[in-house]
Amino acid sequence: MNNLFISDNTSPADQRILKAVSDANDGYALSYGNDRWTEEAEALFKKEFGEDSLYFPVLTGTGANITALASVLKPFQSVLCASTAHINVDECGAPERFTGSKIIPIETENGKLTPEMLSKYTLNPGFEHHSQPGVISVSQTTETGTAYSEIELLELSEFAKKHNMILHVDGSRIANAAAFLGVSLAEACRGADVLSFGGTKNGLILGEAVVFLNPALAQETKYHRKQFGQLYSKMRYLSAQFIPYLRDGIWHENASRANRAASLLADGLMKKNIHIHYPVNGNAVFAVVPPEIIEKLSLKFRFYVWDESASLCRFMCPYTATAQDIEELLNSF
Ligand SMILES: Cc1ncc(COP(=O)(O)O)c(C=O)c1O
């Protein structure tokens, strides 16, 4: 069975990342982040996101999201996000459990929020019977494979500021968004106060980071990270991965490769008159596949039937997907 298209976590780790981990396997180093690899990674994050930004390495994407959100929320506040958001659908209620805050899912057409969609939630500030909107959380790219432009993010950021809210970006696929938009990582999360920075889906063995663009919000982050089991003691191995990832542009190279594979797949499917449901702005392709073809494909490939009633399927392209892999899938339609 071909596991390539079911998720971007099925791919092997990048050899250059493995080498960085192996190189860090060098003698004794202080634990919990007091090591030279963490120091170097921190400097690289500052280069990418600004001198004032703060880097908190964590183990998982869910860990990054709960650490980021708990740092900026009070239990009586709520998080506004798209109904499709990972924090709403795929984290087993961890954000609610660890922040005590209510998640308010909002229906969207393509996974993206706009200020207009949010405005009805901010009409009654201070009303003690309602949770108080505290965070706007967006995913970049979204769970439906679309990307926010810098202008769209800035509009959300202005809205957030106007209503005393924080803008959180779940950047599990921030590299794919930046590569698609042709901008830097910082530009791909323009206006955000705090970012969950992804690595695992784009070549790392494990590991993500919470990056505070607004460092004043990070006063309590280290305590939350520890309580949530996200403070990895042998942190040098986690941080060592981010060094070549950022310094050598591996993030861009890998994300561009994944995005190219997705474009190739979408083009090939359109040529076969298969409808592409969402714009392909990253490495995900959502296609309406007739049920008889779903049945045939399922014998050979694993992929996600996103919405059975609409015959909507998701094909994720990992950074390792080659033109030949795409060809093989297309030939099976
Ligand atoms: C948008 C988004 N955020 C976060 C995550 C990270 O989740 P995990 O806790 O599995 O690392 C994922 C993984 O699928 C994701 O798609």
6, 83, 90: residue to mutate for ligand 1 pocket, most atoms within 8 A of CB: 90
Q: What is the pLDDT of residue 31?
A: 98
The domain segmentation of the chain, as residue ranges, is 15-248, 251-331
Q: Is 61 in the pocket of ligand 1 (CB under 6 A)?
A: yes
- Is residue 281 in contact with ligand 1, taking CB distance under 6 Å? no
Closest-CA residue, ligand 1 atom 8, reads 61
- What's the rounded Cα separation, in Å, for the pair 286 and 302? 14
pLDDT, position 114: 98
Q: What is the CB neighbour count within 10 angstroms for residue 67?
A: 27
Amino acid found at 88 = N
The CATH topology of domain 15-248 is Aspartate Aminotransferase; domain 2 (3.40.640)
pLDDT of 317 reads 98
- Our answer on whether the CB atom of 325 is closer than 6 Å to any ligand 1 atom is no
Q: Which residues of the chain have pLDDT under 50?
A: none
pLDDT at 200: 97
Distance spanning both ends of the chain, measured CA to CA = 16
Q: How far is ligand 1, taken at its centre, from the CA of residue 172, in Å?
A: 6
List of residues 6+ apart from 55 with CB closer than 8 A = 41, 42, 45, 46, 209, 210, 211
pLDDT in tens, 293-319: 999 999 999 999 999 999 999 999 999
pTM, rounded to two decimals: 0.97
The yes or no reply on domain 251-331 and CATH 3.90.1150.10 is yes
Q: Per-residue DSSP letters for 74-115?
A: -TTEEEEEETT-HHHHSSTTHHHHHH-PEEEEE--SSS---H
**Residue 72 near residue 166 (C-beta atoms within 8 A):** yes
Closest ligand 1 atom to residue 62 Cα is 9
pLDDT in tens, 231-249: 999 999 999 999 999 999 9
